[in-house]
Amino acid sequence: MLVKTDDLPHEVRYTKTDAIISAVGATLLIVSEMLGAIVAFAWAIGSMLGLGETPILIFIGVMAIPGLVLSLTLTRRILRVEHSLRDSGSF
């Protein structure tokens, strides 16, 4: 079933809540993939170096700290872009 274009709203309101929801969704997707890759990388390197379980966990924690800092920076940038899109009236 196709939707007639006359039935679609011509003016879309883009609220602050929409911006926050979009930013949270994008952040969760990107950060979860990034942190998963960091943990996998640290685990693989630790295993290749023959480290025990405790040193591998410490290595994962050390590697995750820059990832968390980057994710906070990314979240701020995403919120800034979403806010500017809302204010520009493009959406």
pLDDT in tens, 5-27: 565 565 666 677 777 787 788 88
Q: Enumerate residues 6+ apart whose C-beta is below 8 A from 42.
A: 56, 59, 60, 62, 63, 64
Answer positive or negative: Cα dihedral of 89, 18, 37, 63.
positive
Residue 6 is predicted with a pLDDT of 60
Question: Model pTM?
Answer: 0.63
> How many Å apart are CA 6 and CA 69, to the nearest integer?
47
How do residues 30-74 score in pLDDT, each as one tens digit?
Answer: 888 988 998 999 999 999 999 899 999 999 899 889 888 988 898
